[in-house]
Amino acid sequence: MNSVLKSAKALTGTASRSSLLRRGYSSDSVPDRKVTILGAAGGIGQPLSLLMKLNPLLSNLALYDIANTPGVAADVSHINTGSEVSGYVGDEQLGKALEGSDIVIIPAGVPRKPGMTRDDLFNINAGIVKGLCQAIAKYCPHALVNMISNPVNSTVPIAAEVFKKAGTYDEKRLFGVTSLDVVRARTFYAGKANVPVAGVNIPVVGGHAGVTILPLFSQANPKANLSDEEIVALTKRTQDGGTEVVEAKAGKGSATLSMAYAGALFADACLKGLNGVPDVVECTFVQSNVTELPFFASKVRLGKNGVEEILGLGPLSDFEKQGLENMKSELKSSIEKGITFANK
């Protein structure tokens, strides 16, 4: 079974913690794990909370937002899976939400409306992310941080700078969540290639905005005989996937359900890595030397300490080589914008 299918099975709650133990995991391999979601009452936060409640690898789910978390937590807590759910609201409860956390997932911040770029969210979301990361540095400095809030190309560098200032930065523990780009690339490719989507895998590298999103269809598995025009169109659709949803929602926000799914898959991969499951590989935006840029998304092997190994890009087609060059100036300036903001 491929990792997506396995994860999907875990996400549907078909495995309980006790059934994992019965299936041969020792109790050591399913240790207690606390996951905190910051922004848990939002469009992404609510379905993400639901999906994490279905994951048998966690024992404690802490839901934090500036408003409305008690209701979300009460609702999710009635689901008869093993983890305990607690809700926290407002600044004064943020520390308790974070204390003891193994993974902090951050979908806090405003989403796009039609006509906006992800960078247009910077002015509001940069400050939100900075404040939340200061609290992470104080209350759970060793947690893995899964950054969903946009613009990811800048919010991840902001988080890194905040952690550096606090003396807690560990580049192995900070991730920009780009899994939705992979989820989209798989779906769009399977449709075009007419192959079952469950078996499809495609690396998506670079960043998480427009041309910085680079799906490597030349490395798609299974292979399909698509024309150059079809690859160009699939690439553009993957790059514009977020905008497609923003426009369809017509002012009511951006991707929430598919993002919750992608965020839950990535958190599940992080939990598996922490628990010592071998060969857990996901694309994610991390501190990197795969290119000359200080942060870059590529395939990463996840392990007990977070990033275990950053994998290279592999062979690129000429079209992908060009795409890589085309993204660099935008990605560089988004990273620098984040670093400058954090050090203001």
Ligand X SMILES: NC(=O)C1=CN([C@@H]2O[C@H](COP(=O)(O)OP(=O)(O)OC[C@H]3O[C@@H](n4cnc5c(N)ncnc54)[C@H](O)[C@@H]3O)[C@@H](O)[C@H]2O)C=CC1
Ligand Y SMILES: O=C([O-])CC(=O)C(=O)O
- The residues annotated as belonging to the active site are 208
Contacting residues toward ligand X, per CB under 6 A: 38-39, 41-45, 65-67, 107-112, 121, 125, 128, 131-132, 148-150, 152, 177, 180, 208, 253-256, 259
Q: Specify whether the CB–CB gap between 220 and 314 falls below 8 A.
A: no
45 among annotated binding-site residues: yes
Nearest in space to 45 (alpha carbons), one of 12, 75, 78: 75
In angstroms, the CA 39 to CA 64 distance is 6
Nearest residue relative to ligand X (C-beta):
42
Decide which of ligand Y, ligand X, none touches 245; Cβ closer than 5 to 8 Å per partner kind: ligand Y
Residues numbered 274-303 forming contacts with ligand Y, rule: CB under 6 A: none
* 263 scored as a contact of ligand Y (CB under 6 A): no
Q: For the chain, what is the largest distance between any 2 Cα atoms, rounded to a whole number of angstroms?
A: 57
Confirm or deny that 259 is annotated as ligand binding.
yes
Task: Look at residue 81 and give the partner it binds from ligand X, ligand Y, none, a contact being a CB closer than 5 to 8 Å depending on partner kind.
Answer: none
> 280 contacts which partner out of ligand X, ligand Y, none, CB within 5 to 8 A by kind?
none
The option from ligand X, ligand Y, none interacting with 246 (CB < 5 to 8 A, set by class) reads ligand Y
Name every residue whose Cβ is closer than 8 Å to that of residue 276 and which is 6 or more positions away in sequence: 29, 303, 304
Closest CA to 310 of 328, 285, 335: 285
327 binds ligand Y (CB under 6 A): no
For ligand X, which is the closer residue by CB, 22 or 252?
Answer: 252
Q: Please pick, from the candidates 17, 33, 53, 118, the single residue that binds ligand Y as defined by CB under 6 A.
A: 118
Contact stretch for ligand Y (CB under 6 A) within 64-72, 111-119, 266-274, 305-313 = 111-119
Residue 317 identity: S
13 is in an annotated binding site: no
112 is in an annotated binding site: yes
Alpha-carbon distance of 177 to 182, in angstroms, equals: 10
Cα-to-chain-centroid distance, residue 64: 18
Instruction: Determine the interface stretch with ligand Y among 65-73, 77-85, 158-166, 242-250 (rule: CB under 6 A).
Output: 242-250
Cβ at position 1, least distance to ligand X in Å: 25
Q: Is 148 annotated as a binding residue?
A: yes
Total residue length of the chain: 344
Annotated ligand binding at 33? The verdict is no
* Using rule CB under 6 A, residue 186 touches ligand Y: no
Residue 239 engages ligand Y in binding (rule: CB under 6 A): no
Q: Decide if 259 contacts 105 (C-beta within 8 A).
A: no
Task: Confirm whether residue 40 is marked as ligand binding.
Answer: yes
Would you tell me how many other CB atoms lie within 10 Å of the CB of residue 229? Answer: 8
> Least distance to ligand X from the beta carbon of 307, Å?
18
Tell me the residue number closest to ligand Y, measured at CB. Answer: 242
Residue 45 partner contact from ligand X, ligand Y, none using kind-dependent CB cut-offs of 5 to 8 Å: ligand X
Residue 206 touches ligand Y, criterion: CB under 6 A: no
Residue ranges of the annotated binding site for NAD(+) are 39-45, 65, 125, 148-150, 259
Query: Residues marked as binding for substrate?
Result: 112, 118, 150, 184
- The annotated binding site is made up of 39-45, 65, 112, 118, 125, 148-150, 184, 259
What are the residues binding ligand Y (CB under 6 A)? 111-112, 118, 150, 180, 241-243, 245-246, 254-255
